[in-house]
Amino acid sequence: MKLRYRFRFYPTVEQAQELARVFGSVRYVYNWALRLRSDAYRQGQKISYNESSAALTTLKQREDHAWLNEVSSVPLQQSLRHLQTAYVSFFDKRADYPTFKKKTGKQSADYASSAFKWDADNRHLSLSGIGRLDVHWSRSFKSTPTTVTVTKDTAGRYFVTLVLDETIKPLPKTGESIGIDLGINRLATLSNGERITNPKYTSKYARKLARAQRALARKQKGSARREGTRLRVAKIQAKIADTRQDHLHKATTHLVRRFDVICIEDLNVRGMVKNHNLAKSIGDASLGAFGRMLEYKCEWYGKELVKIDRYFPSSKTCNACGYISESMPLGVREWVCPECGTSHDRDENAAKNILAVGHTERQNARRGSVSPK
């Protein structure tokens, strides 16, 4: 199974300088090729990956671009591949038109197997032109990395992401199933009544962040003090993201350990974020990330994720008698079924319905697969 593991590393002063040159060159080549291909596109022509690669070879021979030869050629070539991927997604209507890379954004460079060395016995990772990296190996792995991506985030932290082909042992079966209602106020409510809340400390950092952002707005563009404040903002943002990520990982791993079948609503988060009132809380709750983690963890560990139609009225249906209420505004947290008199916690009732529908869909899928034509 192909996995991506990310580790933090700490470059020396020289390595940081060298990496800055690599990031700069990668960005330059990407933007140069994007300009080249965009110009052609406007004139109704298409430049292929091979053509852009040949043009890069010519560019590097020019005296005024000799500096491009001072860094490893592999990340530059990879950068053209990334642009190619971006174009393919655009032509398949899966993504918007590619955009220029900015100096202020997250920086990255890809090293294919010809441009790095991995010494498994000593856990030494060396990049061509950079040398051995001081990596904090926070988890173990057995296979040899096929690609190494180096990134520097906006908070100034460095990471390597390794693409690995690992075998994962399935988790023991428990015979248990669960339905999950994902929410805005509460991250998740389970059909057995358990709740998973959003991390509490996010609000503390949100206040800190708002203060730092106000300070940033007051600083003069291009000043050294502004850069210091920008870094402070980025560091708080990184802290919030890490806390959230960690929380989501713990919650999803716990679920996958305990349950064999997990049923969730197929939330179209992209569609929901467009609603401005909900955007902030949705971002906070990270529902999309939660769903994705459940999806790949179920696959890793031999568990089953059942995604049910997001138009199914899970909140409005009474799980005891099947009565469907006409409306159920977001503010209603508890309700009593007028048909059978059962009192419901809104989310728990939804989770129970999701579990029931998930079971039915699974059974139908099974019957479908064995029934004669």
From the list 110, 260, 347, 348, the catalytic residue is 347
Instruction: Classify 91 as helix, strand or coil.
Output: helix
Q: Where are the alpha helices (DSSP H) in 259-286?
A: 269-273, 276-285
Q: Identify whether 347 is a catalytic site residue.
A: yes
Residue (15 or 353) nearer to Zn ion, CB: 353
C-alpha to C-alpha distance for 361 and 355, rounded to whole angstroms: 10
How far apart are CB 314 and Zn ion at their closest, in Å?
Answer: 14
The minimum distance between CB 324 and Zn ion, in angstroms, equals 10
Q: Is 79 or 349 the residue whose CB approaches Zn ion more closely?
A: 349
| HSE-CB for 56 with a 13 A CA cutoff | 29
265 included as an active-site residue: yes
- Residue 5 or 323: the one with the smaller Cβ distance to Zn ion is 323
Residues that bind Zn ion (CB under 5 A): 318, 320-321, 323, 337, 339-340
Known active-site residue 309? no
- Evaluate whether 152 touches 109 at the Cβ level (below 8 Å): no
Annotated active-site residue in 18, 110, 265, 348: 265
Q: Catalytic pick from 18, 110, 181, 348?
A: 181
Please, what's the b/e burial string for 256-294 (b: 16 or more CB within 10 A of its CB; e: otherwise)?
Answer: bebbbbbbbbebebeeeeeeeeeeeebebbbbbebbebb
Measured between alpha carbons, how far is 279 from 239 in angstroms, rounded to an integer?
20
Of 198 and 317, which CB lies nearer to Zn ion in the complex structure?
317
**26 close to 109: Cβ distance less than 8 angstroms:** yes
Between 338 and 372, name the residue whose CB sits nearer to Zn ion: 338
The Cα–Cα gap between 23 and 29 comes to 10
**Shortest CA distance to 61 belongs to which of 53, 69, 72, 70?**
69
CB of 355 to Zn ion, least distance (A): 16
Is the Cβ of residue 107 or residue 315 nearer to Zn ion in the bound state? Answer: 315
CB contact set of 329 (below 8 Å; sequence gap of 6+): none
Could you please report the per-residue DSSP string of 156-204?
A: S-EEEEEEEE---PPPPP---EEEEEE-SSSSEEETTS-EEPPPTHHHH
Active site residues: 181, 265, 347
